[in-house]
Structure 1
């Protein structure tokens, strides 16, 4: 999951090691603090390679 601000360069993602709940909480906190609109997109699941 990747969340980003439509009005500034703020962004947060599960690819940084955060859980979806943490990303959502940070997005809500950004909205409350700034009033900026936050949008999101789902990241593709990680690829598992078996050798």
Structure 2
């Protein structure tokens, strides 16, 4: 099928599955140990392949 149609089918199937098995929300990071901004920037550069 067309990619746009496939994406629509995936969204519809996700919406139908959501009430049955809701995805648990990711736990918020502990305020006592925030992620350093430098580490986040290094991870972002690594993810971009720079």
Q: TM-score, normalised by structure 2?
A: 0.31
Q: TM-score, normalised by structure 1?
A: 0.30
Write 1 or 2 for the structure with the bigger share of helix.
2
Write 1 or 2 for the structure with the bigger share of strand.
1
